Amino acid sequence: MALLLKRSAGGRRSRPKPSAEINVTPFVDVMLVLLVVFMITAPLLAQGIPVDLPKTRAEQLPSSEEQPLVVTVNAEGLVFVGTQEEAVDIETLPPMLAGIAQDNLERRVYVRGDQAAQYGRVVRVLALLQAAGFTNAGIVVEDEETGGG
């Protein structure tokens, strides 16, 4: 293949002019891939401690604008707050949650209790929340028909 170059009026060959434009297509492609990856992984990271929730036919609560506090009781009876991987002492739970809630005791608190956990341990967590003044605590369950998750 022969490269055809234009000849100027004086008979000289002219060189192609350099382009000053930045090609942003590869940058946009990489950003879109990263966006998709983070959209998929972000909900998976926010799940917290894995527990086997009991199944029931309860209606779902309406969603609210602010994020609820989540307290998890696993099968061994250890208590976790939010997505922390370190168990907390059950006696320090009320002041810790009050500090997180910033004295907003109407803030919703979800208690996720593994169905293999002792019933008394889950009830004790609920009683401590009530004694601390939280007025909006509830237990998280899975739907019997869909299996939840």
pLDDT at 34: 92
- What's the whole-model pTM score? 0.55
Fold of 55-143: Nucleotidyltransferase; domain 5 (3.30.420)
pLDDT of residue 33: 93
Structure tokens at 125: 């967590």
The closest of 59, 103, 96 to 79, measured between CA atoms, is 96
Q: What does pLDDT average to in each consecutive run of 10 residues of the chain (149 residues)?
A: 55 76 88 90 70 70 67 89 84 82 78 86 87 82 64
pLDDT at residue 43, rounded to an integer: 72
pLDDT of residue 30: 93
Under 8 Å between Cβ of 96 and 89: no
| Predicted pLDDT of residue 31 | 94
In angstroms, rounded to a whole number, what is the distance separating the alpha carbons of residues 144 and 149? 11
